[in-house]
Amino acid sequence: MAKEECLSQRIKLRDTYTLRNRKIYQSSEQIEQSTGSKGKKSQTTLSKDKNQFSNGSTAPFPTRGSGGFPRKVVLMLVVGLSFATRLYKITEPSHVCWDETHFGKMGSYYINRTLFFDVHPPLGKMLIGLAGYMTGYDGTFPFLKPGDKYEHHVYWGMRGFCAVLGSFLPVFAYHIVLELSQSHNAALITATLLIFDTGCITISQYILLDPILMFFIMAAVLSMVKFSQQRCRPFTAPWWLWLLLCGVSLAGALGVKFVGLFVILLVGLNTIWDLWRLLGDVNLSLMDVAKHFLARVVGLILLPLILYVTIFAVHFAVLNKSGPGDGFFSSAFQSRLIGNNLHNASMPEYLAYGSVVTVKNLRIAGGYLHSHWHLYPEGVGVKQQQVTAYLHKDYNNLWLVHKQDYNDSQSGTPDLVRHGDVIRLEHKETTRNLHSHHHQAPLTKKHFQVTGYGINGTGDANDLWQVEVCGGRKGDLVKVLRSKVRFLHKATGCVLFSSGKTLPKWGWEQVEVTCSPYLKETPSSQWNIEDHINPKLPNISLSVLKPSFLEVLLESHIVMIKGNSGLKPKDNEMNSKPWHWPVNYQGLRFSGVNDTEYRVYLLGNPVVWWINLASLGLYLTMVAVASTAIQRGLPLGQKRIELSCVLTRGGGLLLLGWLLHYVPFFTMSRVLYYHHYFPAMLFSSMLTGVTVDIFLRSADLLLRPPYSDWLQRGALMVLLFSLLYSFYLFHPLSYGMTGPLAHEAGGAMSGLKWMDSWEF
């Protein structure tokens, strides 16, 4: 029966997941001990079987043993072309391009040891900063906006580092596909797809996190596949090596971006399946299964976790100076930063009338209570002075605390503010009072608007707020930094609230502050007094505020996750939808907008991407046909059984990787961009290599040798030529172009705007 033949063939291909006879999979040491030279003969037989299968495909170049000279030449060619295409013109353009504004600047922050905030874990930025430091960059370039000239600053090291990691992607893909399919043709097709994809080249040539992330993703998958190849020699040195390398790569992927969780899930599912099959091997004792389980716990859970925490330990140790990221974190977090006003500082312990204070919201990234001279625009509540929450230290965050009756002048020790007191908060810069009324808030429509009102501290009854210490009783004092405080508006009964929503351009993209009629205590309605200036009161040391490492680690993750989920598109940004990505619907402008500027446009080679898209449908069709044939018990030859096993096992793993790195984006509410698809594109290209190779190797279903061999060779040459020629046509997108625009006569891309949505 075909089912038994497929099972037998899988055994021959050393797929231990379906084994029940452990003798075939004894380690080499056991074979030598039990059978002596006969064991060596058995190993030789297995090796011959593997090479016979490996050489079963028709190649466009001479095929020898797995270490044959021509194949080494092909691998060297893959490596050389990959590095050459990524490192070519690496210093051009000599100005800031796209998100280099962010990640180059963050590399500078590491060199200067200055705290900043980003929504991603720190490893990628740390490596960028290290690469810049090692190549002579001094961290002084401001990275203000795209288009700024680098001039004398050394930037090539950071770009070169990202390009080198991006150069490894086709090489890793070559080895992954070779291990999964045992076909050099499939590996060569995959490598060619990635080497000559303009999108992969572009995204690798700039100071970005994407090439670093994809490097660790591919390293993890390659290590996982290599580890699987060592299943017949458990607990040997190579077995441990690939297991631990997989764990290191998983930590690296997650340490660069949270989307590294997708490859962790891929490895986790593969490991669970692996352990389930081992559990079903009746020749393995439960102790043996337990050893396998513990080894994977150590290599794939404990080691990545330790490395991931270590990354943050280094991050916190390096960024020990106050910087632009302070306001995103709690007062306790800031107290550990050199240069922050809370670091080894002292201030009055209890809030008093006449004090100058800053008021910080306890919501993560809730911001400081802030105002400025700008008014709310027409149609947004009442046209009074804006009150917002601002995430950075600023002079406009300062407020004066006054009594409600305008009579708080005191010659001696000032009165202290207590739970239940009614106060006014006067903005120090503009002298207007914190004010609310029944008009609708700008964004949170069920809340009331908060404004600045009055002149020189004189306003009306809507400027009065009752202080409430959370968990306190009437008469309790307000402790600076340590008391959680709410401000209840006397006239409307609402509570001062930071919604976390970002205001439009008229609000300087600061955070909305409202007055909420919902009085439930939440971090958004809770505040603490951070800065406290009153020369009439004695000061105390704030050293008791410094948090532990675990507290800092937890807070930083909460801030990152909330910041990531709250990302919104900016004006004129080319954000896109997930369904756009596989069809190459729209790219991203990296640099330049007119004929006098150096233009770079992130767009995949359309031939590569559309072949990948077509191959997904072809793969599903081939799997359906093969599965139906096996289920019906049709007589299949050995070659077809080999191909169906590779198709379902190796191709299935790659399809799962593509799904895991693509489908989750449909559920995300944050802003999405075209470059988010590139990790999934790597899996799609590898699946294309396997699918096309198996499709061509099945040519003898229609033709007999030598015609089938000619068809395979001819199809491969046509495919390779198409990829090379399309790269020749579209390479200006990656390496830059000036002069007439694409739609103009004489432009570098004239006649190549195949889709109206392309904006190069």
Least confident span in 237-246, 400-409, 520-529 = 400-409
Q: What's the chain's average pLDDT?
A: 86
Whole-angstrom Cα distance, residue 453 to residue 384? 7
- Residue 446 clears pLDDT 60, i.e. is over it: yes
- Residue 374 clears pLDDT 50, i.e. is over it: yes
Residue with tokens 């990829």: 723
Which distant-in-sequence residues (6+ apart) come within 8 Å of 524 by Cβ? 361, 362, 363, 366, 497, 498, 499, 500, 516
Q: What is the pLDDT of residue 744?
A: 66
Whole-angstrom Cα distance, residue 361 to residue 341? 18
Least confident span in 108-122, 154-168, 254-268, 409-423 = 409-423
Q: What is the pLDDT of residue 702?
A: 62
- Residue 262 clears pLDDT 80, i.e. is over it: yes
Q: What is the pLDDT of residue 336?
A: 87
- Residue 613 clears pLDDT 80, i.e. is over it: yes
pTM of the model: 0.82
- Residue 34 clears pLDDT 70, i.e. is over it: no
Q: What is the pLDDT of residue 476?
A: 92
Q: What is the pLDDT of residue 746?
A: 66
Please choose, from the candidates 167, 188, 207, the residue with its C-alpha nearest in 3D space to the C-alpha of residue 85.
Answer: 167
- Residue 759 clears pLDDT 90, i.e. is over it: no
More reliable by pLDDT, 643 or 1: 643
Q: Which two tokens stand for residue 199?
A: 């999108």
* CA-to-CA separations, 229 to 157, 239, 282, in angstroms, rounded: 37, 9, 21
Whole-angstrom Cα distance, residue 659 to residue 683? 9
Q: Which residues pair with 527 in a beta bridge?
A: 361, 485
Asked if the peptide bond before residue 93 counts as cis, ω within 30 degrees of 0, the response is yes
More reliable by pLDDT, 184 or 699: 184
Q: What is the pLDDT of residue 130?
A: 97
- Residue 226 clears pLDDT 80, i.e. is over it: yes
Least confident span in 344-348, 375-379, 459-463, 611-615 = 344-348
Q: What is the pLDDT of residue 21?
A: 34
Confidence of residue 35 (pLDDT cuts 50, 70, 90): very low
Please choose, from the candidates 57, 329, 190, 252, the residue with its C-alpha nearest in 3D space to the C-alpha of residue 651.
Answer: 190
User: What DSSP assignment string belongs to 640-685?
Assistant: HHHHHHHHHHHHHHHHHHHHHHHGGGGG--S---GGGGHHHHHHHH
Whole-angstrom Cα distance, residue 351 to residue 577? 50
Least confident span in 9-13, 159-163, 208-212, 398-402 = 9-13
Planar angle of CA 319, 322, 323, nearest 5 degrees: 90
pLDDT in tens, 470-491: 988 888 999 988 889 999 999 9
Whole-angstrom Cα distance, residue 389 to residue 713? 66
Neighbours of 629 (CB within 10 A): 16
Whole-angstrom Cα distance, residue 402 to residue 404? 6
Whole-angstrom Cα distance, residue 402 to residue 59? 85
Q: What is the pLDDT of residue 600?
A: 92
pLDDT in tens, 274-321: 999 999 888 899 999 999 999 999 999 999 999 999 999 999 999 999
Alpha helices (runs of H) in 65-183, residue ranges in sequence order: 69-87, 100-112, 123-134, 156-181
- Give the mean pLDDT of 587-602: 85
Please choose, from the candidates 306, 103, 301, 81, the residue with its C-alpha nearest in 3D space to the C-alpha of residue 200.
Answer: 81
Confidence of residue 404 (pLDDT cuts 50, 70, 90): confident
Percent of the chain with pLDDT strictly greater than 90 = 61
Widest CA span in the chain: 107
Handedness of CA 697, 703, 706, 708 (dihedral sign): negative
Q: Which two tokens stand for residue 161?
A: 């580092």
Q: What is the pLDDT of residue 97?
A: 94
The domain made up of 350-535 is a member of CATH 2.80.10.50:
yes
Alpha helices (runs of H) in 298-398, residue ranges in sequence order: 303-318, 331-334
- Give the mean pLDDT of 430-454: 95
- Residue 675 clears pLDDT 50, i.e. is over it: yes
Q: What is the pLDDT of residue 681?
A: 97
Handedness of CA 582, 649, 220, 69 (dihedral sign): negative
Q: What is the pLDDT of residue 617?
A: 94
The β-bridge relationship of strands 385-390 and 346-348 is unpaired
User: 398 near 358, Cβ under 8 Å?
Assistant: yes
User: 434 near 489, Cβ under 8 Å?
Assistant: no
Q: What is the pLDDT of residue 178?
A: 95
Q: What is the pLDDT of residue 710?
A: 80
Q: Alpha carbon 212 to chain centroid distance?
A: 10
Whole-angstrom Cα distance, residue 636 to residue 619? 19
- Give the mean pLDDT of 250-272: 96
* Domain residue limits, the chain: 2-54, 350-535
Neighbours of 301 (CB within 10 A): 15
Please choose, from the candidates 113, 529, 525, the residue with its C-alpha nearest in 3D space to the C-alpha of residue 331.
Answer: 529
User: 590 near 98, Cβ under 8 Å?
Assistant: yes
Handedness of CA 488, 489, 494, 498 (dihedral sign): negative
Whole-angstrom Cα distance, residue 641 to residue 364? 57
Q: What is the pLDDT of residue 141?
A: 96
- Residue 190 clears pLDDT 50, i.e. is over it: yes
Whole-angstrom Cα distance, residue 394 to residue 341? 12
Helix (H, G, I), strand (E, B) or coil at 307: helix
Whole-angstrom Cα distance, residue 454 to residue 443? 24
More reliable by pLDDT, 568 or 418: 418
The β-bridge relationship of strands 527-533 and 356-361 is antiparallel
Q: Which two tokens stand for residue 417?
A: 């503010």
- Residue 222 clears pLDDT 50, i.e. is over it: yes
Please choose, from the candidates 251, 235, 218, the residue with its C-alpha nearest in 3D space to the C-alpha of residue 296.
Answer: 235
- Give the mean pLDDT of 186-193: 96
User: 338 near 132, Cβ under 8 Å?
Assistant: no
- Give the mean pLDDT of 105-132: 96
Residue with tokens 């904006």: 759
- Residue 28 clears pLDDT 50, i.e. is over it: no
By CB atoms closer than 10 A (0-12, 13-18, 19+), residue 39 is middle
Q: Fill in the DSSP letter of residue 505.
A: G
Which distant-in-sequence residues (6+ apart) come within 8 Å of 455 by Cβ? 431, 432
Q: Which residues pair with 399 in a beta bridge?
A: 357, 427
- Residue 571 clears pLDDT 90, i.e. is over it: no
Whole-angstrom Cα distance, residue 203 to residue 588? 10
- Residue 18 clears pLDDT 60, i.e. is over it: no
Q: Which two tokens stand for residue 100?
A: 């280099």
Confidence of residue 407 (pLDDT cuts 50, 70, 90): low
Q: What is the pLDDT of residue 674?
A: 92
- Residue 46 clears pLDDT 50, i.e. is over it: no
Q: What is the pLDDT of residue 562?
A: 80
Confidence of residue 20 (pLDDT cuts 50, 70, 90): very low
- DSSP E strands, 470-538: 485-489, 495-502, 511-516, 527-533
* CA-to-CA separations, 559 to 345, 555, 562, 564, 569, in angstroms, rounded: 25, 6, 5, 8, 19
- Give the mean pLDDT of 103-131: 96
Q: Which two tokens stand for residue 242?
A: 């690939």
Helix (H, G, I), strand (E, B) or coil at 560: helix
Confidence of residue 48 (pLDDT cuts 50, 70, 90): very low
- Residue 406 clears pLDDT 70, i.e. is over it: no
Q: Supply the Cα-derived Rg of the chain in whole angstroms.
A: 32
Helix (H, G, I), strand (E, B) or coil at 464: coil
Q: What is the pLDDT of residue 204?
A: 96
Confidence of residue 69 (pLDDT cuts 50, 70, 90): low
Whole-angstrom Cα distance, residue 501 to residue 487? 20
Q: Fill in the DSSP letter of residue 298.
A: I
- Residue 569 clears pLDDT 70, i.e. is over it: no
What is the enclosing helix (H) or strand (E) of 402? strand 399-403
Whole-angstrom Cα distance, residue 343 to residue 117? 19
Confidence of residue 115 (pLDDT cuts 50, 70, 90): very high
Confidence of residue 363 (pLDDT cuts 50, 70, 90): confident
More reliable by pLDDT, 613 or 410: 613
User: 164 near 86, Cβ under 8 Å?
Assistant: yes
Helix (H, G, I), strand (E, B) or coil at 285: coil
Helix (H, G, I), strand (E, B) or coil at 516: strand
User: 150 near 94, Cβ under 8 Å?
Assistant: yes
